[in-house]
Amino acid sequence: MTFLNRVCAALSERGVRYAIVGGYAVALHGAVRGRVDVDIVLGWTLKSLQAAERALVDIGLVSRLPVSAADVFQFRDEYVQNRNLIGWYFYNPDNPTEQGDIVITYDLKGRKLDSVMTQDGKVPILGRKDLIEMKRESGRPQDLEDVKALERLS
């Protein structure tokens, strides 16, 4: 099973409503894109964040920051506005190529999800329109390139 599918299975087992975003979502929508980490967005609740943290820990990932889900939830505005934190980053200390990020600047509530079937199972991804909007709002150069690639698919 791929790392992406392991992340999805762990989140689903914990009952987390989530979507894959970032490079994997761009690629699964059909645009060529290199990717390393698995970026996810959640419905922004403490319960959801805690379940996602447990799911990532269940598959051997650890937080790069000495914080808990409660800390991230409580101090989200501080982390985003004053520390430029976009995501809560996790990695596997035994295999550093396995990385996952919970994007803390985006709330899944009210967003459209698509689903893509991979050889290892179904992967929920943020709908293309919402993914384009999310990436355009970030303004980062790679995200703006992703927007162009996604718009060419229309």
pLDDT per residue as tens digits for the range 15-43: 999 999 999 999 999 987 777 799 999 99
Measured at the alpha carbon of residue 103, what is the angle toward residues 144 and 25, in degrees to the nearest 5? 55
Instruction: Report CA-CA distances (Å) from 56 to 12, 14, 53, 143.
Output: 11, 10, 5, 25
Q: Structure tokens of 129?
A: 């329109």
Q: What is the pLDDT of residues 100-139, one digit of tens each?
A: 999 999 999 999 999 999 888 899 999 999 999 999 999 8
Measured between alpha carbons, how far is residue 117 from residues 28, 47, 83, 96 in Å? Answer: 9, 27, 37, 26
Report the C-alpha gap between 61 and 65 in whole angstroms: 12
In a domain, residue 72? The reply is yes
The phi, psi pair for 95, rounded to 5°, reads: -150, 85
Q: Is the distance from CB of 20 to CB of 40 less than 8 angstroms?
A: yes
Residue 21 placed within a domain: yes
Whether 152 maps to a domain, the answer reads no
Half-sphere exposure of 46 (CA within 13 A, CB side): 6
Q: Is residue 134 part of a domain?
A: yes
- Residue 109 DSSP one-character state: T
Residue 131: predicted pLDDT: 96
pLDDT at 36 (0 to 100)? 77
Q: What CATH number is associated with residue 8?
A: 3.30.460.40
The pLDDT value recorded for residue 1 is 85
What pLDDT score does 32 carry?
78
Question: What is the count of structural domains for the chain?
Answer: 1
Domain extent, residue 17, equals: 3-144
49 within domain boundaries: yes
Is residue 149 included in any domain, yes or no? no
Residue 8 lies in a domain: yes
Q: Tell me the C-alpha distance between 27 and 149, whole Å.
A: 10
Domain for residue 77, yes or no?
A: yes
